Amino acid sequence: MMDSGDTGFMLICAAFVLFMTPGLAFFYGGLVRRKNVLSTMMNSFFIMGLGGAMWILIGYSLSFSGDTAGIIGNLDWACLNHVGQEPGPYAATIPHLVFAAFQMMFAMITPALITGSVAGRMNFKALFVFMVLWLLVIYYPLAHMVWGHGGLLGEVLGSVDFAGGNVVHISSGVSGLVLCLMLGKRRGYEKIPYKIHNIPFVLLGASILWFGWFGFNAGSALAANGLAAHAFMTTATSSCFAMLSWMCTDMMIQGKPTVVGAATGAVLGLVAITPGAGFVPVWSSIIIGIVVSPICYFTMSVVKKKFGYDDALDAFGCHGIGGIWGGIATGIFGKSSINSVARWDGLVFGDYHLFLAQVLSIVITIAIAAVGTFLCAKVVNLFLPLRVDEHDEKVGLDLSQHGEAAYPSFNGLD
């Protein structure tokens, strides 16, 4: 039965999630050198148009209509055909169109997360084509497998993902890692300093992301109810404790808490709680938030240096590793009494089935993202160079890719 309160709540949540992608643009844009700020922000912003258009044309249908072997949907709802004002099969109290709109925002921000790994060196035309293929090959199948009726990971395997640990964070983080390995390091990486050019942008972006994330997680309850309130509070709790945890780590290692570190910690807490926000007790979100920061700090500062890959803005270190921890933590702390979608309780409550399902789903997601990204990039590279040439990289991607400068009065070396 249609509920106007649920409908209004979900429309607001969809708008919250939409706002996250410009927030990501500011977050990423602030972290790069000034000659690449516009290109980095554009890499997030254009995907709002591309991701939204593809979602309306075929993405929603491939993700949620019908079922083909538990892997992908069909084209019954292409161009939102038969998606109207009455409730659909996924939410009983809101219009089908509202559910489609809410899910569309996820399909926008997820590919945008990948771009942090390749900032400062990827050819924009190649990135555009790559994103078309990535959505088709990786995002839509994963969305169906996790959330669609008959999906392999959700309904068959029994894993749970409340708001996108597998679908959003692990997929984008792993894809970012593979893509940055294929592109190679930025010119002068580890030889010349890559200074963050605008920390206020970073803080603004993190704040917008935090704000929007309440729509991201609470909205995944698909109704204005107790489960939405629960997801709201686990989200707030994890992000608060993750921020403090990162600041403590900064203090122990560098002797000072940094603004960029505090912003990063808050985002990490949001990433880690996403898969379990509507499944784990509030007290466990304290643990999830505290633990994620040192894990990701170690990945970004030690593992990345040891293996020498240039994950420019740490999309893998943040979303990939944070998402993996969040998925595992859901298997540890999940409770079916909080949300009956979970068939079993987590490890700390004496049952191992959910934990095993979570780990297996994460392994499958990593494999799909890694292999799919490699194949998509190889196909694109047949027609377009993945990376800009040395001159364009020296000049900066703002001018070489878009013919614009964020700070036209600046004439110094960068």
**Does residue 21 have a pLDDT over 90?**
yes
| pTM for the model | 0.96
**Does residue 364 have a pLDDT over 60?**
yes
Query: Running DSSP on this structure, what letter comes out for residue 70?
Result: T
Alpha-carbon torsion, ordered 364, 368, 370, 374, to 10 deg: 160
Report the chain's mean pLDDT, rounded to a whole number.
Answer: 96
Over residues 162-179, mean pLDDT = 98
Flag whether 393 is in a domain: no
Number of structural domains the chain divides into: 1
Q: What is the DSSP string of 122-133?
A: B-HHHHHHHHHH
Flag whether 63 is in a domain: yes
Pick from 234, 301, 242: which is nearest to 267 by CA? Answer: 242
Q: Is 347 helix (H, G, I), strand (E, B) or coil?
A: helix
Per-residue pLDDT band at 408 (split at 50, 70, 90): confident
Beta-bridged to residue 87, according to DSSP, are: 95
Q: Considering the chain, what percentage of its residues have pLDDT values greater than 70?
A: 99
pLDDT one-digit tens code per residue, 188-219: 887 777 789 999 999 999 999 999 999 999 99
**Does residue 89 have a pLDDT over 90?**
yes
Flag whether 190 is in a domain: yes
pLDDT at 190: 75
Judge whether 231 and 278 are in contact, CB under 8 Å: yes
Flag whether 285 is in a domain: yes
Flag whether 402 is in a domain: no
**Does residue 411 have a pLDDT over 60?**
no
Over residues 120-134, mean pLDDT = 97
Pick from 183, 205, 180, 172: which is nearest to 31 by CA? Answer: 205
Judge whether 148 and 86 are in contact, CB under 8 Å: no
pLDDT at 369: 98
Flag whether 396 is in a domain: no
- Give me the numbers of helices (H) and strands (E) for the chain, helices first please: 17, 0
Over residues 224-237, mean pLDDT = 98
Over residues 392-406, mean pLDDT = 94
Over residues 23-44, mean pLDDT = 97
Amino acid letter for position 285: S
Flag whether 211 is in a domain: yes
Which residues span the domain enclosing 270?
A: 4-385
Over residues 300-306, mean pLDDT = 94
| Residue matched to tokens 């500011």 | 26
Flag whether 57 is in a domain: yes
Q: Is 94 helix (H, G, I), strand (E, B) or coil?
A: coil
What CATH number does the domain containing 288 carry? 1.10.3430.10
Judge whether 16 and 212 are in contact, CB under 8 Å: yes
